[in-house]
Amino acid sequence: MKMEQPTMGAMQMSFDDKQKVSATSSTIKMSARDVKVFYGDTEALHGINMDLYENEVVAFIGPSGCGKSTFLRCFNRMNDTIDSARVTGEILLDGRDIHDKKLDVVQLRAQVGMVFQKPNPFPKSIYENIAYGPRLHGLVDNNKSDLDEIVETSLQRAGLWKEVKDRLDAPGTGLSGGQQQRLCIARAIAVSPEVILMDEPCSALDPIATSIIEELIDELKGSYTIAIVTHNMQQAARVSDKTGFFHLGDLVEINETREIFTNPKDSRTEDYITGRFG
């Protein structure tokens, strides 16, 4: 995929235009402590430490293969689904170890929802795409009006309600790519998550659909903690409060997004954001 490589000057302008304000949240939602991930014998992540704060958007940037997606998947144990993957270290959600044997992984993945690169609605109606999770998690007693309300609220929060309210029985797969991605966000929202992980959620979308999702991310952070992997540095600058730069399986630095793009501490970060390597 082609990467945007804006200059520092261009990046500065986008900050000035938006007058982006630094994050103010101080409550840690999730923490990673000395997290390593191995695929077979290969160590892909070399002991990462990071805190995700409530109501904050953190962007993970870095060259292809540096471990951004692998690290993102640690927060809801999606690496468990990869046979060769082994995770060590500690990941805490509200101070609780998510690898605790008593913890229900299905419940964890509702609390820590995920949106993927390619929109992946179920081959079901728009309504059923949203209703499935709340039913599975017992959030409603199959009470139609409660379920209707969850479906409507979730679609509203994902900015899709107006476009689909008259065709809730139509297949989710019949929507445009951008609409499908918002459907997937609505599906994640429907099970009352606290954290939403997004793995390049706009990479398959056109610029208009991308900007709708970016606006949505800005709204959603009022209610959720969001971590987003992106190849697009302009996008990281637009949507995130903090940015972490990864390189060869290490988290080189994480800081306020403005700092990362205007005053990086590590020469590797500077080389990356100025397009010297990618």
Ligand X SMILES: Nc1ncnc2c1ncn2[C@@H]1O[C@H](COP(=O)(O)OP(=O)(O)OP(=O)(O)O)[C@@H](O)[C@H]1O
> Using CB under 6 A as the criterion, which residues of the chain lie in contact with ligand X when the complex forms?
39, 44, 62, 64-70, 82, 84
Residue 200 or 241: the one with the smaller Cβ distance to ligand X is 200
**Half-sphere exposure in the Cβ direction for 259 (13 Å, CA):** 13
Name the minimum Å distance from CB 55 to ligand X.
Answer: 25
Residue 193 or 249: the one with the smaller Cβ distance to ligand X is 249
Query: d(Cα 36, Cα 75) in Å, to the nearest integer?
Result: 12
Residue 64 or 145: the one with the smaller Cβ distance to ligand X is 64
Residue 125 or 210: the one with the smaller Cβ distance to ligand X is 210
Partners of 57 in the β-ladder: 226
Residue 70 or 181: the one with the smaller Cβ distance to ligand X is 70
Name the minimum Å distance from CB 203 to ligand X.
Answer: 9
Name the minimum Å distance from CB 70 to ligand X.
Answer: 3
Residues 6+ away with beta carbon under 8 Å from 100: none
Residue 39 or 161: the one with the smaller Cβ distance to ligand X is 39
Instruction: Return the number of other C-beta atoms located less than 10 Å from residue 216's C-beta.
Output: 20
Residues 6+ away with beta carbon under 8 Å from 221: 55, 56, 57, 241
Query: d(Cα 54, Cα 195) in Å, to the nearest integer?
Result: 8
Name the minimum Å distance from CB 64 to ligand X.
Answer: 3
Distances (CA, A) of 223 to 57, 183, 185, 216: 11, 18, 13, 12
Name the minimum Å distance from CB 227 to ligand X.
Answer: 12
For 267, the 3-state DSSP assignment is: helix
Name the minimum Å distance from CB 75 to ligand X.
Answer: 13
Q: What is the DSSP letter of 105?
A: H
